[in-house]
Amino acid sequence: MQQRKLAVALCAALVFSASLVSAAQPDPNRVIVKYKPGAKSQAQAAIAAAGGRVHLQLDPQSAIAVTLPPAALQGLRNNPSIEFVEQDAPRYPLGQVVPYGINTVQAPSTVATGADGTGITVCVIDSGIKADHEDFAGVAMSGYASSGQTWNTDTCGHGTHVAGTIAAANNTTGVIGVSPGKVGLYIVKVFDGASCGYSYASSVSDAANRCASAGARVINMSLGGSTKSVTEENAFNSLNSNGVLSIAAAGNAGTSALSYPASYSSVMSVAATDSNNVVATFSQFNSQVEIAAPGVGVLSTYPFVDASMTVGSASFIVSALEGSVQATASGGLVNGGLCTSAGSWAGKVVLCERGTISFADKLNNVKAGGGVAGAIYNNVAGGFTGTLGTVAVTIPGISMSREDGLALIANSLGLTATVSTVPNSNASGYAYLDGTSMATPHTAGSAAIIWSAAPTKTNLQVRNAMNSTARDLGAAGRDNYYGNGLVQTLAATEALLGGGGTPVAGPSGLTASNSGTVKGKRQINLGWTAGTVTVDVYRNSTKIASAINNVGSYKDSIGGSGTLTYKVCNAGSTTSCSANATVN
């Protein structure tokens, strides 16, 4: 019997930390004082004499964080034991996360041009949507489900995750979509039940027809099956002729098999890449793969929460390990390293780094050491989902991102941690999922915001713009793993506009200064006005940094001599750039 399976199988819900903003404002007089080698005691004496209040001693950095009366600053800077004094720059807990894929496909720099998806409707044929999720607040949506079902609920989470990548709102919480909540969504439910097991070619065809009738210009299908259907192909050929751009997942079998509807020529087939822009091992590779987009460790919206973790007053994005018992446990937080053997962890919540042994073996070591719960943090950037397999484990186990794990080790050991793997079935959750299902909405969202820049263009023109500007990966030119390459939304938008658009202003106020020589290399400090759009940095017309966070500064280190000319551009743009800054 043929089944149309969802193109993703990995499932886990996560809780997301609410923002942790305190009412107090950062202290503007707090600075970091860097003293010269061996001059710590002289520096401490100078700080005390200046009336400074010490907050932190950073011995490895030969530095002290202090609050100083402003009038004392210059004197300290002139003190021979002091190397420099810099602002102790505020750092904030981030209430809203920008998932890596959003920057990878150049969404923010495109949105900055005004092309944010407004006026375009994307149809999502999937498992429905948790329409009342906090991160869809303000997103225009409607939908269809067959009798006895509701389009605005989602029992398995797949459709809600996909829709979040397309359209999660840019608010103060959760995540952000390729379109920051500006596209319209039309939701057609074809999967239902706890597992969202399968649908049929006729149901997908009917759904696609309904998408077009509802005015959708882009159709997202994070689904597929291995058997071709003439009727389904006819439906997509017809929609293609009528101006609809259909986009579908290449499939997750990790083989060269064709999957449908992705492999009809009237549909774009999307491969999945990871945060290093390397194709995922599960991503199907064949002659129909057209383009690639992020599909590993993708964080997006989820219709329920299956696990939570609080440490002190902070909560974290975590996921229950598949097969974990459903339980809540509290204890002091300890660092168990790789947890390859049991430690003295009676009553503790134990942090374990991913790697070397299985998740189940780690948790059983935690249990053997007396621990009450295990939290496994990733050994590469980002979050992950894991399974305990068939091994019995009697304490709750969760997974979390490497960043959160390291931050907890640095700041929170000894605090009371509470881990719960008891699901909350009606909450605005967030989840990391893997699949070409996750790559597809990056591509559909991209198509929508590109199209919103030039709504009179045709589906074929949008498709051509995306394919002609995709970043070539893997074997040179088109290949079966990446197709034409990675989706590059801004480049495609500029291509679609054919140079006829108005360039958006790039970074401003660029300065470049020489700060001396280290090991024979000139140290160049660049500064400009910080912003939210990631940027590329160019030296003498060569890109030296790609899509970095726009913090308003960059340090270059370069040998040789002669004039250096710098500019900073919105990521992916060659027109939205600062003025040049030159240093000799």
Residues that bind Ca ion (CB under 5 A): 96, 135, 168-169, 171, 174
What minimum distance in Å lies between the beta carbon of 164 and Ca ion? 9
Per-state percent for the chain, helix, strand, coil, to nearest 5: 20, 30, 50
Spot the catalytic one: 88, 126, 154, 434: 126
The residue annotated as part of the active site, out of 226, 238, 275, 315, is 315
C-alpha torsion angle, residues 365, 370, 375, 379 (rounded to 10): -40
Scanning 185-292, the segments in alpha helix (DSSP H) are: 201-213, 230-241
Rounded to whole angstroms, the Cα distance separating 75 from 551 reads: 29
Contacts of residue 519, Cβ cutoff 8 Å, sequence gap at least 6: none
Q: In whole angstroms, what separates CA 70 from the centre of its chain? A: 40
Tokens found for residue 392: 């019995």
Question: End-to-end CA distance of the chain, in Å?
Answer: 72
Query: Are 320 and 350 spatial neighbours (Cβ–Cβ below 8 Å)?
Result: no
Q: Which residue's CB is nearer to Ca ion, number 182 or number 367?
A: 182
CB of 17 to Ca ion, least distance (A): 13
DSSP assignment letter at 483: B
Query: Which is closer to Ca ion, CB of 68 or CB of 102?
Result: 102
Task: Specify which residues 536 forms β-bridges with.
Answer: 569
User: At 525, is the secondary structure helix, strand, or coil?
Assistant: strand
Q: Which residue is nearest to Ca ion (CB)?
A: 174
Q: Which is closer to Ca ion, CB of 305 or CB of 497? A: 305
Burial (0-12, 13-18, 19+ Cβ within 10 Å), 47: buried
Query: What sections of 286-358 are H helices per DSSP?
Result: none
Instruction: Give the shortest CB-10-to-Ca ion separation in angstroms.
Output: 23
- Considering the complex, state which of residue 166 and residue 473 has its C-beta at the smaller distance from Ca ion: 166
How far is Cα 454 from Cα 193, in angstroms, rounded to an integer? 39
Closest contact distance (angstroms) between CB of 129 and Ca ion is 15
Q: Catalytic: 55? A: no
Residue 265 main-chain phi, psi, to 5 deg = -65, -20
CB closer to Ca ion out of 81 and 171: 171
Q: Which is nearer to Ca ion, 27 or 132 (CB)?
A: 132
Residues 6+ apart with CB under 8 A from 413: 333, 334, 335
Q: How far is the CB of 28 from Ca ion (least distance, A)?
A: 30
CA-based torsion, 516, 519, 520, 522: positive or negative: negative
Closer CB to Ca ion, 107 or 223, in the complex: 107
> Catalytic pick from 158, 229, 446, 576?
158
556 part of the active site: no
* Smallest separation, CB 94 to Ca ion (Å): 11
* 3 state SS for 352-418: EECECECHHHHHHHHHHCCCCEEEEECCCCCCCCCECCCCCCCCCEEEECHHHHHHHHHHCCCCEEE
CB of 430 to Ca ion, least distance (A): 10
Return the number of the residue (104 or 286) whose C-beta is nearest Ca ion.
Answer: 104
Beta bridge pairs of residue 188: 125, 144
Q: Is 133 marked active-site?
A: no
Q: How far is the CB of 97 from Ca ion (least distance, A)?
A: 8
- Residues with a catalytic annotation lie at 126, 158, 315
